[in-house]
Amino acid sequence: METPTKLPPSSPSSPTTGFSVPSAEKVDGFPRRSMRRARQRRSHSSSQFRYQSSQVELTPLPLIKDAPVAELHDLFCKKLQQCCVLFDFLDCVADLKGKEIKRAALNELVESVATSRGVLIEPLYPEAIKMISVNIFRTLPPSENPDFDPEEDEPTLEASWPHLQLVYEFFLRFLESPDFQPSMAKRYVDQKFVLQLLELFDSEDPREREYLKTILHRVYGKLLGLRAYIRKQINNIFLRFIYETEHFNGVAELLEILGSIINGFALPLKSEHKQFLVRVLIPLHTAKSLSIFHAQLAYCVVQFMEKDATVTEYIIRGLLKYWPKTCTQKEVMFLGEIEEILDVIEPSQFIRVQEPLFKQIAACISSPHFQVAERALYFWNNEYILSLIEENCQVILPLVFGTLYRVSKEHWNQTIVSLIYNVLKTFMEMNSKLFDDLTASYKVEKQKELKRERERAELWRGLEEQQERRLQSLGEASRNQKNLQEREKNSKNEPENSAANTT
């Protein structure tokens, strides 16, 4: 389908009279300088540079590979310190020499930590972590586009990426090095460090988030003491995202990490983990930007089910509670997730949720949006789901029959109508007796429903009349009381008045 392309916000309103030409740039001969400048300014952003008080001039150090073994560690350390100098990347011509020296030094550090053994000795740990912290930890700049829509808009890229990338690369190689000693690292990679690392996941730059994802995964894998803390802080980030800001760029990446963490949970599941599922993962489905991380979220949910089938009911009831009411796009996603869940559901669990679930599925089938109806009807093409339906036909058919019957007669979309006929046919073959009974009683049921409807209207009318009467009598009562009071007051006043008159 064609989606209208959005105009850039800075674009001027085009002339409205007869001479409006779409590609005015070529025709009108006006200089377009402002447009060009505006575009350049929008693509990069960085607030990293500000905290450097005075700029240091860098001088190149000898190469690591040429260093004699005795001086190797000392040189490595010096290079790390050199890389703590930050540069202004918003000004792309500032201090090019310094930038090049740092880039070369970072490259050497990456190379050396990745390939040579025995480099990582204890005194280097604090220096390495300091260099990493100084470079990557920063308050992320305000988004250039406050209504940033990750699906539509181009992300703002980090201007200092040429250095930042190498710092991340170094960090990753450092963690993955066979010489890496968690017992030494844990003194420097502590809770505060992890918290700052997690905050960076809000970066708009997808390249940065990709590195962070791999790095956090390694930290989680190697530093066992931080695991619970990392999980707790991810919870906090998600809860803030769900209930406070609705904005966090790294939800998909964090979920991806969690996907593999859930896989490793011990059985039986700790209550902490169940709480995470019920109070964090399920409510994440309410997010407006669900489409960006839905695949990862659904994966996590299914992982939980495969770990422990008893959480199935929480999941399904949770999804039903948060079922989208107005956003059909999200409804299709929910249906997709339900199918993924049903693919691996245990039949005993299915029975526990089939009733509310198929009521919702029936509601989807009667959706006027054909994609929603179609997605729901596709369930009948799934062999495993079909077998579950067949086993529980006595319960499910009465739940959906009315809807199928009605929608087959009145849906505007022919594809949906023919899909429904197929479903009805399947049911007929499954249990023709039940099918005939339902067909026969359809009209009676309809009548009963109408009757109930009338009774309800009657009840409310009665209630409202009664309310009216009571409010009236209350009003009267209070008026009477007021009159009474006034009369009392008057009678009290009277003697005074007469006294006043006599004097």
Partner 1 sequence: ARRCASPAGDKMAGADGDDSLYPIAVLIDELRNEDVQLRLNSIKKLSTIALALGVERTRTELLPFLTDTIYDEDEVLLALAEQLGNFTMLVGGPEYVHCLLPPLESLATVEETVVRDKAVESLRKISHEHSPVDLEVHFEPLVKRLASGDWFTSRTSACGLFSVCYPRVSSTVKAEIRQHFRNLCSDDTPMVRRAAASKLGEFAKVLELEYVKSDIISLFTALASDEQDSVRLLAVEACVSIATLLPQEDLETLVMPTLRQAAEDKSWRVRYMVADKFSELQKAVGPEITKNDLVPAFQNLLKDCEAEVRAAAANKVKEFCENLPEDSRETIIMTHILPCVKCPEVRLNIISNLDCVNEVIGIRQLSQSLLPAIVELAEDAKWRVRLAIIEYMPLLAGQLGVEFFDEKLNSLCMAWLVDHVYAIREAATCNLTKLVEKFGAEWAQNTIVPKVLGMANDPNYLHRMTTLFCINALSEACGQEITTKHMLPVVLKMSNDQVANVRFNVAKSLQKIGPVLDSNCLQAEVKPVLEKLAADQDIDVKYFAQEAVSVLALA
Q: Compute the least distance from the CB of residue 372 to partner 1, in Å.
A: 17
Residue type, 222: K
Distance (Å, rounded) from C-alpha 322 to C-alpha 255? 19
| Number of Cα atoms under 13 Å in the Cβ half of residue 48 | 24
Buried b (16+ CB within 10 A) or exposed e, 214-237: bbbbbbbebbeebeeebbebbbeb
- Judge residue 155's burial from the number of C-beta atoms within 10 Å of its C-beta, 0-12 exposed, 13-18 middle, 19 or more buried: buried
Nearer to partner 1, 63 or 463 (CB): 463
Q: Compute the least distance from the CB of residue 28 to partner 1, in Å.
A: 5
Query: Which long-range contacts does 425-430 make (Cβ < 8 Å, 24+ apart)?
Result: 426/380, 426/386, 427/393, 427/397, 427/401, 430/389, 430/390, 430/393, 430/397
Spatial CA neighbour of 350 closest among 319, 383, 387, 300: 387
CA distances from 248 to 18, 219, 293, 334, 443 (A): 45, 21, 11, 21, 52
Q: Compute the least distance from the CB of residue 37 to partner 1, in Å.
A: 5
Q: Compute the least distance from the CB of residue 344 to partner 1, in Å.
A: 27
Residue type, 415: T
Nearer to partner 1, 284 or 345 (CB): 284
Q: Compute the least distance from the CB of residue 192 to partner 1, in Å.
A: 7
Q: Compute the least distance from the CB of residue 12 to partner 1, in Å.
A: 4
- Calculate ∠ Cα 26-30-33, nearest 5°: 100
User: Coil, strand or helix: which one is 45?
Assistant: strand
Q: Compute the least distance from the CB of residue 266 to partner 1, in Å.
A: 23
Distance (Å, rounded) from C-alpha 193 to C-alpha 208? 17
Interface positions with partner 1 (CB under 8 A): 10, 12-19, 24, 28-34, 37-38, 47, 49-51, 139, 141-142, 192, 195, 236, 239-240, 243-244, 279, 283, 321, 359, 456, 459-460, 462-464, 466-467, 469-470, 473-474, 477
Nearer to partner 1, 321 or 425 (CB): 321
Strand partners, 45: 158
Furthest-apart CA pair in the chain: how many Å? 124
Contact by Cβ (8 Å): 145, 153: yes
* 70, two tokens: 């005795």
Nearer to partner 1, 138 or 375 (CB): 138
Distance (Å, rounded) from C-alpha 173 to C-alpha 157? 23
Contact by Cβ (8 Å): 49, 88: yes
Nearer to partner 1, 6 or 41 (CB): 41
Nearer to partner 1, 244 or 496 (CB): 244
Q: Compute the least distance from the CB of residue 189 to partner 1, in Å.
A: 16
Alpha carbon 102 to chain centroid, angstroms? 37
Q: Compute the least distance from the CB of residue 20 to partner 1, in Å.
A: 9
Strand partners, 158: 45
Q: Compute the least distance from the CB of residue 481 to partner 1, in Å.
A: 8
